[in-house]
Amino acid sequence: MPVSTYLVVALGAGVAGFVQGLSGFAFGLVALSFWAWVIDPKLAAVLAVSGGLTGQVVAAVTVRRGLDLGRIAPFVLGGLAGIPLGVLLLPRLDADWFKALLGLLLMVWCPLMLLARDLPRITVGGRIADAAVGLAGGMMGGLGGFTGVLPTLWCTLRRYERDVQRTIIQNFNLAMLTVTMISYLATGLVTRPMLPMLAVVLPTMLVPTLLGTRAYVGISESGFRKLVLTLLTGSGVILVAASWPKIL
């Protein structure tokens, strides 16, 4: 591969690492906005999952705000059930239309949430609703690796405090990415020719991830909410941009 490709991959890894360290999610979405134009989708998927998993491990060690298993468990259990469902649906579902519609929803809904001063807090559904959102997040992971988008939006609608939301999303993504990486390794999707790119991505993202976790400590509740909604809006743009050319 040309040197310019490695530079683009390194840049994407660094930016995505910082964003994930700051927000607790979105490594894959941010990185793919750089990588989708220069490398093969299978390689991009492996790099995104590897980088995202590494970043979640780093964040889990450096940003610890308590561990409420009772609150996290429904999301994780639902997500674990959702991953194989997403994999099964992938050949039968038009994934590009699915991503485009989800992207449009995020592009419309999240800016409205940013502009609204007093959002109603969703309190209905309890653990069952949390598990359903986790299931949907797991299915999104099976369909395209976007595990954190729906649970993050749901936690925002629940109006969880930033540390509670961070704990849920961080542990959810850590579990989902671990399972996804194991499945990649078991199915032989990770190949020897991918190793040089992995050797670029993993070291490049570490320092930006640590800087992001440091920045998170100083961010306010309102600042964190704005950050998350902005990232979700950007996620919608990326989903639409990635899927629309294939639809056309």
pLDDT of residue 152: 86
pLDDT of residue 65: 57
pLDDT of residue 66: 61
Which pair of tokens denotes residue 173? 């993504």
pLDDT of residue 29: 78
- Best CA proximity match to 196, nearest among 47, 27, 58: 47
pLDDT of residue 135: 94
Sole residue written with tokens 């992001």: 212
pLDDT of residue 207: 93
HEC secondary structure over the chain: CCHHHHHHHHHHHHHHHHHHHHHCCCHHHHHHHHHCCCCCHHHHHHHHHHHHHHHHHHHHHHCCCCCCHHHHHHHHHHHHHHHHHHHHHCCCCCHHHHHHHHHHHHHHHHHHHHHCCCCCCCCCCHHHHHHHHHHHHHHHHHHHCCCCHHHHHHHHHHCCCHHHHHHHHHHHHHHHHHHHHHHHHHCCCCCHHHHHHHHHHHHHHHHHHHHHHHHHHCCCHHHHHHHHHHHHHHHHHHHHHHHHHHHC
**In total, how many domains does the chain have?**
1
pLDDT of residue 199: 94
Q: Which range marks the domain in which residue 166 is found?
A: 3-247
pLDDT of residue 119: 63
pLDDT of residue 22: 85
Q: Mean pLDDT for the chain?
A: 84
pLDDT of residue 205: 93
Low-confidence ranges of the chain (pLDDT < 50): none
